[in-house]
Amino acid sequence: MFKKLFSYVREYKAASIATPICMIFEVLFEILIPIYMASIVDDGINKGDLDHIYITGIFMVLLAIGGLVSGILGGVFAAKAATGFAKNLRKGMFDRIQTFSFANIDKFSTAGLITRLTTDVNNVQNAYQMGLRMCFRAPFNMVMAMTAAFIISPKIASVYLIAVIFLAVCLFFIMRSAMKYFTQVFKKYDDLNNTVQENVSSIRVVKAFVREEYEKERMKKASDNIYKLFVKAENKVIINWPLMSLTVNACILLISWFGAHIIVESGGTVLETGDLMSLLTYCMNILMSLMMISMIFVMSSMSIASGERICEVLNEEPDVKNPENPVTEVKDGSIVFDDVDFAYDKTGNGAPVLKDVNLSIKSGETIGIIGATGSAKTSLVNLISRLYDVTQGSVKVGGVDVRDYDMSLLRDEVSVVLQKNVLFSGTILENLRWGKADATEEECIEACRMACADEFIEKMPEKYNTRIEQGGSNVSGGQKQRLCIARALLKKPKILILDDSTSAVDTATDAKIREAFKKAIPGTTKLIIAQRVSSVMDADRIIVLEEGRVNGFGTHEELLKGNDIYRDVYESQTSGNGDFDEPR
């Protein structure tokens, strides 16, 4: 995990190295100050040598300034290194997510990915910054202070050694106990983010069904879970502070007691007053270093849990990859499904959603796809643009297995209007140009004419420069669908897939759109998923799906004669009360 994370330090290695160097110099300056302080007492004050006091005092001021400058530089370098590290981690995760197939994304919740990109990265950033400064400063300070103390008086310095061993053992058990709670708490952040995301994105539904109190209770429950886990973790960690305070005060008392006895009994020959002052100063240095180390342990406990979650994203291998020598040309829009089975669960434990699918579609054909909810209509078309890979068999476009194509090229040639229409904040033109970045305004207008979107765009005050709010909240469902169809048409694809994307459009407009397709893009293979028979009855051929299998494939007339499912639904719908989801 650490190797993976630290590989993202990259261009901030110099700042990462400079930080501990500055910390070491800061410690050296701080360790020398008590030595000069002892010299002022023993060789200056006790002997009445003012010149020695002045000269030594100037050295102490210089040492203090050196320590101050080193500390400031260390802080600057640490901040630069930690924030740069966090920036690289976020970019690395986001770039990784862009390579994921739908199957990879299905493993992580949206809220979980957001938590990893925000809270988890912040924890790692804080731990890294503290680590660069404290991980070097605290141990080095403790070792240097212990060494200086043993040089002055090994007998009294043994008090430090006992205190250090005692605190180290206590810290180990405290951190081990707290670690399990910190590991759990970040999973609860996913639940919290998920609750907020669902509430904000579905606020109209919440208000329509007067579920505000229910949502408040959900939020309270998610927040309380985090609170309880943090309280449990902090209750373990908080023991550290009184324990540290007790040890510091005990050490000061013992050093003062033993030191005073030695000074009095030896008459100042074994230990002088200035030396005792230095030992008391080193006592604070050593125990403050231990306090810093304990803080590092707390941050590490949190950051390790966060780091593991970040590495889950960074280590996730996309299960849909480009081949080594990809095909870079799609000859035509012909599609062949050859003995295709498909399951979302690649481990083999899940039941396949598509079974024994064999289809051959000619380039330029208009194909209707109908079936009950859950009959795997969307799953079928997702295989064409390789959003998922087949479990068994093959899907060929233009006579070539889709797994042999360059993925970007394939998806440029297979344009999909998704079942859930998505628009982004920006103008209508900016949204349309997602289909073709360099499209002219004339090309955008023509695509909107084909999708019958020009009818409502021309009535808007700013027309094609009208701003679309986030998620397309300021346009109706039918308008959103037509804009998404226009966006897909701008790509001028060899295959156009409409995944139930005219469901919010009236039947007259639906017919106009289909008629425009016939005239404007006759060479494009068109697959139209629909619940209404009227939307597909004039297609060249129609696929009838039932529970993941092809139940029928033929023209409208052929299916009326030979397919019971299609005939029953057609008769029901033409009589005004039919639905594919009604039992036959």
Say how far apart CA 190 and CA 99 lie, in whole Å.
Answer: 22
Per the CB < 8 A criterion, the answer to whether 444 and 433 are in contact is yes
pTM above 0.75, yes or no: no
Cα angle value 423/425/428 (rounded, 5°): 70
Question: Using one digit for the tens of pLDDT, what is the confidence trace for 292-334?
Answer: 777 777 677 667 778 888 888 888 887 778 888 888 888 888 8
Asked whether the predicted pLDDT for residue 502 surpasses 70, the reply is: no
Take residue 211 and report the two structure tokens written for it: 């579920």
Interior angle at CA 301, CA 298 and CA 302, nearest 5: 95
Mean pLDDT confidence for 398-405: 88
Tell me how far apart the alpha carbons of residues 261 and 278 are, in angstroms, rounded to a whole number: 16
What stretches of 458-580 show up as alpha helix (H) in DSSP?
477-489, 507-520, 556-562, 564-574
- Distance between start and end Cα atoms, the chain: 56
| pLDDT band at residue 77 under the 50/70/90 scheme | very high
Whether the pLDDT of residue 551 is over 70: the answer is yes
**Domains in the chain, CATH or no CATH each:** 2-315 (1.20.1560.10), 335-574 (3.40.50.300)
Q: What are phi and psi of 174, to 5 degrees?
A: -65, -50
Give the percent of the chain with pLDDT over 90: 3
Q: Concatenate the DSSP letters of all residues of 47-60 into one string.
A: TT-HHHHHHHHHHH
Which residue in this structure is represented by tokens 């006759």? 522
pLDDT at residue 388 is higher than 80: yes
> How many whole angstroms separate alpha carbon 474 and alpha carbon 477?
10
pLDDT at 561 over 80: yes
| pLDDT band of 192, cuts 50, 70, 90 | confident
pLDDT greater than 70 at residue 546: yes
DSSP structure class, residue 375 = S
Mean pLDDT to the nearest integer, 403-409:
87
Q: Is 539 left (phi over 0), alpha (psi -120 to 50) or beta?
A: beta
How many of the other CB atoms lie within 10 Å of CB of 458? 11
416: which DSSP letter? E
Give the closest residue to 66 by CA, choosing from 93, 10, 28: 28
How would residue 69 be classed by pLDDT, with cut points 50, 70 and 90?
A: very high
Would you place residue 505 in the very low, low, confident or very high pLDDT band (cuts 50, 70, 90)? low
Neighbours of 391 (CB within 10 A): 19
DSSP per-residue letters across 175-219: HHHHHHHHHHHHHHHHHHHHHHHHHHHTHHHHHHTT-HHHHHHHH
The tokens for 119 are 């809270």
Contact 100, 49 (CB under 8 A): no
The pLDDT score that the predictor gives to residue 51 is 79
Question: Inter-axis angle of helices 441-450 and 507-520, to 10 degrees?
Answer: 120
Reported as a single tens digit per residue, the pLDDT across 429-458 is 888 888 778 888 888 888 888 888 888 888
